[in-house]
């Protein structure tokens, strides 16, 4: 059953058609990856789904409710959490404070902070300042901040970008854990096809604002159109 359904989504910036009739869905309980060349419209699609910008056309349905055009805080309240291409954390706050300032619906906020610190394995760094963390640790903290909102779907824009390999596997492990423990469905953008193939149940390939190919990693990787769009430019 899909948790997220996008139909005919469109967005132009002046003469640039960034998203050009994107139709796709994300299966509940999956890790779904979105890949595609630079400028394919991936981040714009995420921004449209999460209410950061308004579409020119098309619809977004989340858990069978039309959420098209809602403000980002309304989308978050309905259960979609997201992280950005550059982790948005507070440099001058401690790791723990970065979580405490999120308005969590959890009944026991302090307990939820502790649970998430241990889930993302930052408990030993709880008193470190945001700016003292490595890039990968900042991504983990950004994910924990998003999880404070208790989303059913978490959307991550390039969580592995600029992260050292050891932490890439920590982040991948965390995302698998979110899926396996049914904490959240995971939908992420990445540009590394091998990383996506190893992690995802489903892969959506975007090119020129549209869905190019959708399927299991093994099929997508060998698809002629995908090989062409990656190697042929």
Residues that bind ligand ADP (CB under 6 A): 13, 16, 18, 36, 38-44
18 vs 120 by CB, closer to Mg ion: 18
Q: Which option in Mg ion, ligand ADP, none does residue 38 bind, with CB closer than 5 to 8 A by kind?
A: ligand ADP
- Rounded CA separation 223/12 (Å): 28
Q: How far is the CB of 45 from ligand ADP (least distance, A)?
A: 7
B/e letters for 216-233, b = 16+ CB within 10 Å, e = fewer, are ebeebbebeebeebbeee
Stretch that binds Mg ion, among 34-42, 55-63, 69-77, 174-182 (CB under 5 A): 34-42
Asked if residue 42 lies in contact with residue 189, where contact means CB atoms within 8 angstroms, the answer is yes
* Beta strands across the sheet bearing 65-66: 16-27, 2-13, 57-62, 65-66
44 vs 98 by CB, closer to ligand ADP: 44
Give 62: exposed, middle or buried? Use CB within 10 Å, 0-12, 13-18, 19+. Answer: buried
Q: How far is CA 121 from CA 59, 66, 124, 137, 173, in A?
A: 37, 36, 8, 9, 11
4 vs 189 by CB, closer to ligand ADP: 189
43 contributes a contact to Mg ion by CB under 5 A? yes
Q: How far is the CB of 188 from ligand ADP (least distance, A)?
A: 12
Q: Which option in ligand ADP, Mg ion, none does residue 83 bind, with CB closer than 5 to 8 A by kind?
A: none
32 contributes a contact to Mg ion by CB under 5 A? no
Residue of 230, 203, 205, 232 whose CA lies nearest to 217: 203
Q: How far is the CB of 95 from ligand ADP (least distance, A)?
A: 28
45 vs 60 by CB, closer to Mg ion: 45
Q: Which option in ligand ADP, Mg ion, none does residue 39 bind, with CB closer than 5 to 8 A by kind?
A: ligand ADP
Scanning the structure block, which residue is given the tokens 């970065």? 98
The footprint of Mg ion (CB under 5 A) covers 42-43
């Amino acid at each position: 059953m899909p948790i997220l359904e996008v139909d005919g989504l469109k967005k132009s910036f002046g003469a640039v058609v960034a998203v050009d009739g994107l139709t796709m869905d994300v299966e509940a309980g999956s890790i779904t990856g979105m890949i595609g060349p630079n400028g394919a419209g991936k981040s714009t699609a995420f921004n449209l789904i999460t209410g950061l910008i308004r579409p020119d056309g098309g619809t977004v349905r989340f858990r069978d409710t039309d959420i098209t055009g809602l403000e980002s805080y309304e989308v978050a309240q309905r259960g979609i959490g997201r992280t950005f291409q550059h982790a948005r954390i507070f440099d001058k706050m401690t790791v723990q404070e970065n979580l405490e300032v999120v308005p969590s619906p959890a009944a026991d906020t302090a307990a939820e902070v502790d649970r998430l610190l241990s889930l993302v394995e930052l408990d030993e760094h709880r008193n470190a300042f945001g700016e003292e963390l490595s890039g990968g640790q900042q991504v983990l903290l950004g994910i924990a901040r998003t999880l404070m909102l208790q989303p059913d779907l978490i959307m991550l824009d390039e969580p592995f970008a600029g992260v050292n390999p050891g932490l890439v596997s920590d982040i991948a492990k965390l995302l698998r854990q979110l899926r396996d423990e049914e904490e959240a469905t995971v939908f992420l953008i990445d540009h590394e096809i091998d990383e996506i193939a190893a992690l995802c149940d489903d892969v959506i390939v975007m090119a020129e604002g549209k869905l190019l190919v959708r399927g299991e990693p093994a099929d997508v990787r060998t698809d002629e159109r995908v090989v062409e769009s990656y190697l042929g430019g």
